[in-house]
Amino acid sequence: MTTQIGSGGPEAPRPPEVEEWRDKKGYLWLMGLIAPTALVVMLPLIWGMNQLGWHAAAQVPLWIGPILLYVLLPLLDLRFGPDGQNPPDEVTDRLENDKYYR
């Protein structure tokens, strides 16, 4: 005699599936590497401009950082506003133990 479980008859009610939370912006943390990388790239560029006698042009890249920090980033913050996508409380313990979020 073979028994088929789940065939025919009423099935037991299943609990609603909990959607697995996934950080959609997790890889944006890599954008934090832009500033140190820009420093490593720009210093030889500025040195080369000074060696070629372009002293006025060599000062322009030095103003990019303050313009980004004090003008562009506050304007972007006003434009996009608060994030509002915090992880649910059920996932907080798992995120605290994840090495990526430490």
pLDDT in tens, 13-26: 655 555 677 878 88
Instruction: Work out the average pLDDT over 38-62.
Output: 93
Q: Check: CB of residue 63 under 8 Å from CB of residue 71.
A: no
Token pair recorded at residue 46: 């500025």
53-85 pLDDT, tens per residue?
A: 999 999 998 898 899 989 999 999 999 888 888
Domain of 51, in residue numbers:
27-80
Instruction: Give the pLDDT score at 23.
Output: 79
Residue 37 within any structural domain of the chain:
yes
Token representation of residue 12:
């037991």
Query: How many domains does the chain divide into?
Result: 1
Residues 6+ apart with CB under 8 A from 35: 65
- pLDDT at 5 > cutoff 70: no
What span, in angstroms and rounded, lies between the C-alpha atoms of 24 and 43? 34
Beta strands in the chain (DSSP E): none
Within-domain flag for 10 = no
Flag whether the pTM goes above 0.75: no
Instruction: Tell whether 86 is covered by a domain.
Output: no
